[in-house]
A and B are shown apart, each in its own frame.
Chain A
Amino acid sequence: MSLPNPLEKLRQKLFGDAVILFGWISLVLLILLAIAPAKNFFADWHRYQRGYQRLISKRSDAFTLRRHFEPGIQQIWLPEMDVVDRCTTCHSALKETTLADVSIQPYRPHPPIPHKAEEFGCVVCHRGQGIATSVEDAHKSTLAWEEPLLPAKYLESSCGQCHQQDLKGTPQLNLGRKMLRSYGCVHCHTIKRPDSTVISATDDPPSLAHIADKTTREWIFAWLKDPQAYSTTATMPTFKLNDDDARDISAFLISSSTPGSLKVVQASLDTAKKVKDNAELQTKASSLYGESFCASCHAVQNAAGNLVGGNIGPELTKVGSKVKPEWLQAWVRNPHDYDPGTGMPHYRFNDQEVGELTGFLLAKVDNDLLANVHLDAPTPEQIAHGKRLVNDYGCASCHEINGLKRPENFAPELTKIGSKPVNQLAFAPGVPHTLYDYIGAKIKQPRAFGSSLKMPQYTFTPAQIDALVNALLSHNERALTIPAAKTVPAPPPSHYEPAGKAGQLISDLNCFECHAINGRGGDMAPDLTWEGSSVQRDWLVQFFRNPNTLRPALIRRMPKFNLTDAEINTLTDYILTVYQSPKVDRDSMPLAGYPMAQVELGRQLYYSKYGCQSCHIIDTKQDKGYIGPTLTHVGSRLTAAWVYNWMKDPAALRPGTQEPKRNMSDDDARALTAFLMSEKGSEKQEAKKR
C-alpha cells in the first residue's frame, strides 16, 4: 500500500514476527524488573554498609564487630513515642565503643549519654527524618520534609523536651531557661510547660505609678532612647524610639504619675547635700556603704571600668543622674514605702545614716548623660500620643502604669515555637530557612523582620542567643505529646510564706532574695530550711547584731540591718522553733563536756584521716583552708546533734553542698563532734587572757 521506506523496513525486521516481538518485550520486562534491585544496590545505605564492612575488616576485633553487624534496613520503632528511626541502617557502629578512634561518619560510635537508643530512638534528640533511607532526606530539609538535623549547639534543647528541671549536663539549656524568665521574655510571650503550668518571670520591672517622685522626665527620655547608656547591665531592651516618640512617652509617664507618700526628712536631705560635695564626708559615707554590704547586691563601675559588686539590685554607677534627692532618702530609709514588692531590704538606718548614704549615692553622677536632653513642657497632643505609644509597645506588660491594664497575650504564645513549621515563618532577607536560624535571627535583630514590629532590641552576646534558642526549641509539639512516664516534671514552685510577726520581719528584710527556705528564695546565701536544728541561740542573736562572714573567701556578705533586740528575739525564736529538721533533734547531744580522750581522737581524725584542714580553718596559725566556713568558733555556733548528722551525710541536710559524704563510722563521727564542739573560739581566748 505504502511506499517502501527505511523505517518501515526496520519495523518489519524487528517486530514483524511474533516470536521476535515476544523476545523484545521479554527483554524490556527484564530490564524493568532489574531496576528495583539495581536501585537498592546503588542506594546510599547499601554503599555505607559495604563501606562499614570494609572498615571493620581491617581491624583487630573484626570478628566481633562483624558478628554485631546486621545487614539490611534497620529500624527502631517506638509507637508510643511516634518514632520510626532507620538511622542505624547507615550508622552501624553506634554502640561499638572500640571504634572510638574513628572520625568518619556514619561510622562513629555514639558518645556516652544517659539514654539508650532502643528506648528513645534518634530523632527525639537529633531531629531529622528518621524514616528516610537516603542521606539527603534524613538530614536536610527537603520539599516533602522540612525537619533538618539539629546542629550540635542546639542539641541540649532536646533534653528540655522531657526534663523540665535544670540538668547538670545542659548548661546552655539551663542558661536559656533562666534568661527567658529574667529578661522579661515571658512578660509578653506566654510559654506553657507540657504540664500546662505557665512559666513565670523572675525579674521585677519597677512600677511607674509614682515615677515622677523618683526621677525626671529628662532621665526617662535618655533611658528610653538607650537604657544601656545609663547602665551597661540594664536588662531593659531598646525600643528604637525616635526623639519625638521618646519625648511623648516621657511626657505621658510623668503626667500619669500620681504622688506616692514619700517621707521627707529635712535633716537627712541637709546631710545628703553636705556629703554630696565634700570629699572627706564622701570617704566616711563610702565606708558606711561598705559596712552595709550594699555591694552584695549592687554593682558600681570602678576607675578601671570594671563592675564591682552583685547583680541582684540595679547598677549604681550613675544613680546621681537619675533619682531625686527626696526620693532617694525616702528609699534608703524604707524602700517598701515606695514599692511594697521590692527586693531591697528595709535597713533600720537613722536619719543621719540615711543622709550620708543618700549624699554618697547622689555624687555618682555622669554629666554627659543628660547634657543634650532639652524638653519643653508637653502639649496635650504629645501626652495623648505618648499614651498611644505606651499601649502600642505594651509597656504595661512589664510595668505598672496608672490608668493602663496589663495587656493579655500581648505577644504570640511560644508554647509550640520549637516545632513551628518553616512554611509559616516570614524570614528576613539573608536568614537561612531553618527554624533555629529564624529564632536566633529574631532574637538578635527583631526589627530586621519588619520595621513595624514591636519586639525590642536586646543586647545579647551570641552565646546568650544560642542559649535562648535552645530553651525555645525545647517548647515543641513532641514535648507536649511525649508519654508522661518518660518525662521529668519541674519541681512545683514553692509559695512558702512564713507566719506571724517573724513572717512580717522576714518579708521586711527580704530574706528570700538571698536565702532559700522550704524551696522558696535565692541561692546566694545558705538555705535556712533546717537552720533551727543547726545553730545555737546565743550565736544567732550575736550574728543578727553583727553579721560577720563565716567564709573567708566570700565577697558578698550578709548586711547588718540594725535590728532592735525585740526584733532579733522574734526572729531567733521563730527560726529555732519552726525551721527544725525531722532528722536532727537539736537537744539529743550535749554542747560541751565530752571526755578529753574523745576530743583528742577527734583532733587526730580531723587532721590526719579526714584532712579537714584542706577546706576549713580551726587553728588560725597553721590551717589555711578557704572553702568551707571557718570553724574556730564552731563549738559555740552549731548544735552537737547537727554536727554529728552533718558528719554522717552533709548533702542530706543541705542538698548540693560541696562537702562530700565520708561514710564515716558512728564512733568517728562522735569523736569529730566532740572535737569540734570543744572549739568555742572567743571563750577559749578569754580564758587565756585571764
Chain B
Amino acid sequence: MKRTACILILVFAAALHIGCTQHAAATYSLPNPTAYGAAIVESSGGKQVAEVGTPLPQPLVVQVNDDQGNAVGGALVVLHGPNGIYLDPAAGLTDSSGQLTSNISMGTIPGRYQLTATTTTKAGKTVEVKLEEIALGYQETLGSQLNDQYCARCHNQESTPERVSNYDNLEVKPHPFTEGDTLNKMSDADLIAIISHGGPALNKSPLMAPYGYTLSKSEIQALIAYIRMVSDPPYGAPGIVYTQK
C-alpha cells in the first residue's frame, strides 16, 4: 500500500516538474545568433505618439552595426519595455540589412515609455540603445486633435501633402511643441495666458493669436497636457517616466 502511494506521489511530482520546466522553456526560447555586432542604433520609429493601448503608427526599427559601421545580419536583438507595452516581436535576429523591425502597442497608462534594445557583441558584452515612445491619455488625445486643428499649421515645421506648414512664412518663429528647452521653463499659468490672450500677454509677438474666446478652459488644459507630454527633454519630475524595474 505504502509503496504504491510513494510511487504515485513520485510520479505526480515528476509530472509536475516536467510540466513546469517545459512551460518555462517555451517562454524563454530565443533564436541563436549567427553573427555578432559591435553597436546597436535606432533606425526609425522612436519618439512616436499614440493613444494608450493602440499600436504606434510606424514600426520600430533598430540596426546592429559592426565596429566599421557596417550593418550586421543575423545578430540577436532583444527589446525590453515597461509593463503593459506590447512588442511584436520582443526579440529576433536582424535581417540581411542588419535591421530588426518590431510593431509596438502602447500600454494602458498615459506617459513616456522607455524601451531598450540590446544585442551581444562577440566578446559577450551587451550593448544597448535607449528609445522612447509616448502614450496619450484622454486629455492628451483631445489636445493632439486641437493641435492638429488650430496649432500645427504654424508650430509644426513639417509639411504634408494635405497641410503645408506656415512655419517658414512667419517673421517670428513659433516654438515647436517638442522644444522642451524653451517650453519646459514656462509654467502652466504662462501657457494658459499665451494661448488665451496671444503673444502680447507674455511680451511676445502678436503673430501668436489669442484662442481664449475660441477654445474652452478644459480644451486649453488638454492642449497643455499634450504639449507637456510631447516635449523633449521631458517636462517636470521624472516620476511619470515608466521604465522596467
B29 within 8 A of A: no
User: Chain A contacts of B137 at CB under 8 A?
Assistant: 111
Partner of A112, one of B53, B138, B166, B212: B138
B52 smallest CB distance to A (angstroms): 4
Report which residue of B111, B149, B213 has the largest number of chain A beta carbons within 10 angstroms of its beta carbon: B213
> Quick one: closest B residue to A555, CB to CB?
B161
Q: Is the interface of A mostly helix, strand, loop or mixed?
A: loop
The answer to whether B53 touches A614 (Cβ under 8 A) is: no
User: Chain A contacts of B154 at CB under 8 A?
Assistant: 614, 627
The answer to whether A662 touches B105 (Cβ under 8 A) is: no
What number of A residues sit within 8 Å (CB to CB) of B?
41
The residues in A between 140 and 181 inclusive whose CB is less than 8 angstroms from any CB of B are: 151-155, 168-172
B240 within 8 A of A: yes
The residues in A between 635 and 690 inclusive whose CB is less than 8 angstroms from any CB of B are: 649, 651, 658, 660-663
In the bound assembly, the distance between CA atoms of A613 and B111 in angstroms comes to: 37
Partner of B54, one of A113, A463, A626: A463
> Quick one: closest A residue to B150, CB to CB?
A658
B118 smallest CB distance to A (angstroms): 23
In the bound assembly, the distance between CA atoms of A553 and B110 in angstroms comes to: 35
The verdict on A103 contacting B213 (CB below 8 Å), with A153-B52, A171-B141, A462-B55 known, is no
The answer to whether B52 touches A113 (Cβ under 8 A) is: no
> Quick one: closest B residue to A624, CB to CB?
B169
The answer to whether A168 touches B225 (Cβ under 8 A) is: no
Partner of B239, one of A101, A555, A609: A101
Task: In the complex, identify which listed stretch (B90-98, B177-185, B200-208) lies at the interface while the others stay far away.
Answer: B200-208
In the bound assembly, the distance between CA atoms of A101 and B110 in angstroms comes to: 11
In the bound assembly, the distance between CA atoms of A663 and B210 in angstroms comes to: 9
The answer to whether A663 touches B149 (Cβ under 8 A) is: no
A387 within 8 A of B: no
The residues in B between 127 and 170 inclusive whose CB is less than 8 angstroms from any CB of A are: 137-139, 141-142, 145-146, 149-150, 153-154, 161-164, 166, 168-170
B189 within 8 A of A: no
The answer to whether B138 touches A113 (Cβ under 8 A) is: yes
B116 within 8 A of A: no
A662 smallest CB distance to B (angstroms): 6
Partner of B169, one of A112, A463, A625, A658: A625
B223 smallest CB distance to A (angstroms): 11
User: Chain B contacts of A114 at CB under 8 A?
Assistant: 218
> Quick one: closest A residue to B169, CB to CB?
A624
B72 within 8 A of A: no
The answer to whether B150 touches A153 (Cβ under 8 A) is: no
A466 within 8 A of B: yes
Partner of B109, one of A103, A113, A172: A103
Partner of A661, one of B107, B163, B213: B213
Question: Please, what's the 1-or-0 string for B42-68, where 1 marks a CB less than 8 Å from any CB in chain A?
Answer: 000000000111110100000000000
A615 within 8 A of B: yes
In the bound assembly, the distance between CA atoms of A626 and B154 in angstroms comes to: 9
In the bound assembly, the distance between CA atoms of A476 and B163 in angstroms comes to: 38
The answer to whether B51 touches A111 (Cβ under 8 A) is: no
The answer to whether B206 touches A152 (Cβ under 8 A) is: no
A610 within 8 A of B: yes
A468 smallest CB distance to B (angstroms): 13
In the bound assembly, the distance between CA atoms of A114 and B161 in angstroms comes to: 34
A630 smallest CB distance to B (angstroms): 12
The answer to whether A108 touches B166 (Cβ under 8 A) is: no
What number of B residues sit within 8 Å (CB to CB) of A?
52
The answer to whether A660 touches B214 (Cβ under 8 A) is: yes
B222 within 8 A of A: yes
User: Chain B contacts of A611 at CB under 8 A?
Assistant: 198-199, 205-209
User: Chain B contacts of A660 at CB under 8 A?
Assistant: 150, 209-211, 213-214
B41 smallest CB distance to A (angstroms): 27
> Quick one: closest A residue to B238, CB to CB?
A101
In the bound assembly, the distance between CA atoms of A611 and B200 in angstroms comes to: 11
A431 within 8 A of B: no
> Quick one: closest B residue to A461, CB to CB?
B55
Partner of A626, one of B55, B164, B212: B164
Partner of B53, one of A108, A152, A624, A627: A152
A608 within 8 A of B: yes
The answer to whether A614 touches B170 (Cβ under 8 A) is: yes
In the bound assembly, the distance between CA atoms of A100 and B238 in angstroms comes to: 11
In the bound assembly, the distance between CA atoms of A101 and B219 in angstroms comes to: 23
The answer to whether A608 touches B166 (Cβ under 8 A) is: no
B242 within 8 A of A: yes
> Quick one: closest B residue to A149, CB to CB?
B108
Question: Please, what's the 1-or-0 string for A448-484, where 1 marks a CB less than 8 Å from any CB in chain B?
Answer: 0000000000000011001000000000000000000
In the bound assembly, the distance between CA atoms of A127 and B153 in angstroms comes to: 38
B237 within 8 A of A: yes
The answer to whether B213 touches A663 (Cβ under 8 A) is: yes
> Quick one: closest A residue to B219, CB to CB?
A168
A430 smallest CB distance to B (angstroms): 15
The answer to whether B108 touches A626 (Cβ under 8 A) is: no
Partner of B141, one of A169, A555, A661: A169
Partner of A152, one of B52, B169, B170, B212: B52
In the bound assembly, the distance between CA atoms of A24 and B169 in angstroms comes to: 92
The answer to whether A111 touches B138 (Cβ under 8 A) is: yes
Question: Please, what's the 1-or-0 string for B219-233, where 1 marks a CB less than 8 Å from any CB in chain A?
Answer: 101100100000000
User: Chain B contacts of A661 at CB under 8 A?
Assistant: 213-214
Partner of B206, one of A111, A610, A615: A610
The answer to whether B138 touches A101 (Cβ under 8 A) is: no
List 30 interface pairs A-B (beta carbons < 8 Å), by A numbering.
A101-B240, A111-B110, A113-B138, A151-B53, A152-B52, A153-B105, A155-B53, A168-B145, A168-B146, A169-B138, A169-B141, A169-B145, A463-B54, A466-B54, A555-B161, A609-B206, A611-B199, A611-B205, A615-B166, A624-B168, A624-B169, A625-B166, A625-B169, A627-B154, A627-B166, A658-B150, A660-B209, A660-B210, A660-B213, A661-B214
Q: Which 4 A-B pairs have CB atoms at the shortest separation, nearest pair first?
A: A152-B53, A101-B239, A153-B53, A624-B169
**Extra inter-chain contacts (17) besides given A462-B55, A627-B154, A658-B150, CB under 8 Å:** A103-B109, A111-B110, A152-B51, A152-B108, A169-B138, A169-B142, A169-B222, A170-B141, A611-B198, A611-B199, A624-B169, A626-B153, A651-B214, A660-B211, A662-B213, A663-B210, A663-B212
